[in-house]
């Protein structure tokens, strides 16, 4: 039986070859663990994810996938460690569960897989009902500030080199929250959940998202679900992601580096 771990990383012995020389040494690897998302006793999705910040993952996934409309509709979360992985046992409002059963989605996720299991194109390419709220514009200097600060918040990436991070920064470019995961979608779901909890506690939700990954359609989709008007990605967006960002009036930036970036949509969200 394949051994399933419940830690975020593991030590392994490797044979490193450099300049023709072999050296035995220890290496740290990021773990992947099957995470089942169970609603009112019914399993809805199984994702391979980093087994950390699982309450944030449960809430963020539920919000980003439109299973619930607000955090109050998620009544409880129980993290149940099992031999085969981890089950997130959630109780949601009956109306939300009834709608979920109607969708009949059976997502079996791979690492970073976002649209697995949607039964129709309509389900896969679902759109928010309205454009995101327009926050105060952000300057390029504040975006660079967040980009420069992000690496020091990536503790798991520093030891494994195998994880993505998603960050929420305020309008001054100060990073408020970071979540890491082996999958970029999982990292963003965790961030959406953590931010929702902060907002419930009275923290101002204005700001923008930064991701260390490419900007796929679903990354823009999840950003819109969180009502965030600016997404900054260190890699490229897809064409479909750009079209969605244009439709929802989201400012989308790609190839973001310390000294450069490409602005794809809605320059009105930026201070030049």
∠ CA 255-121-134, nearest 5°, is 50
CA distance 97 to 83: 27
User: DSSP secondary-structure letter at 20?
Assistant: T
Distance between CA 135 and CA 171 in Å, rounded?
9
* Contact between 108 and 116 (Cβ < 8 Å): yes
Residues whose CB is less than 8 angstroms from the CB of residue 173 and which lie 6 or more positions away in sequence, other chains included: 138, 139, 141, 142, 143, 144, 145, 146, 149
Q: Which of 96, 113, 116, 166 is catalytic?
A: 113
C-alpha separations of 63 from 6, 117, 136, 192, 222 in Å? 25, 18, 24, 8, 9
**Which among 183, 249, 190, 191 is positioned nearest to 216, based on CA atoms?**
183
Tokens 């991701």 found at: 211
Distances (CA, A) of 13 to 20, 109, 182: 19, 29, 21
Active site annotation includes 113: yes
Q: 55: left (phi > 0), else alpha (psi -120 to 50), else beta?
A: alpha
- Indicate which residues carry an active-site annotation: 113
């Amino acid at each position: 039986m394949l051994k399933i771990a419940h830690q975020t990383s593991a030590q392994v012995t490797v044979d490193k070859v450099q300049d023709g020389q072999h050296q035995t040494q220890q290496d740290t690897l990021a773990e992947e663990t099957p995470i089942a998302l169970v609603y009112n006793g019914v399993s809805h999705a199984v994702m391979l994810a980093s087994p950390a910040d699982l309450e944030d993952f449960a809430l963020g996934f539920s919000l980003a996938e439109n299973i619930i409309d607000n955090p109050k509709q998620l009544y409880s979360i129980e993290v149940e460690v099992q031999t085969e992985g981890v089950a997130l046992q959630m109780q949601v409002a009956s109306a939300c569960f009834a709608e979920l059963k109607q969708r009949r989605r059976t997502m079996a996720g791979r690492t970073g897989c976002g649209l697995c299991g949607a039964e129709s194109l309509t389900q896969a390419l679902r759109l928010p009902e309205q454009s995101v709220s327009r926050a105060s514009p952000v300057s390029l200097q504040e975006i660079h500030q967040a980009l420069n600060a992000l690496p020091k918040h990536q503790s798991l990436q520093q030891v494994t080199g195998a994880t993505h991070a998603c960050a929420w920064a305020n309008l001054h470019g100060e990073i408020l929250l970071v979540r890491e995961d082996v999958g970029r979608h999982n990292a963003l779901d965790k961030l959406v959940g953590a931010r929702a909890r902060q907002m419930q506690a009275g923290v101002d939700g204005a700001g923008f998202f930064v991701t260390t990954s490419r900007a796929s359609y679903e990354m823009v989709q999840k950003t819109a679900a969180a009502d965030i008007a600016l997404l900054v990605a260190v890699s490229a967006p897809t064409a479909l992601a750009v079209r969605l960002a244009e439709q929802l009036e989201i400012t989308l930036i790609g190839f973001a580096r310390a000294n450069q970036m490409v602005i794809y949509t809605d320059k009105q969200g930026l201070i030049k």
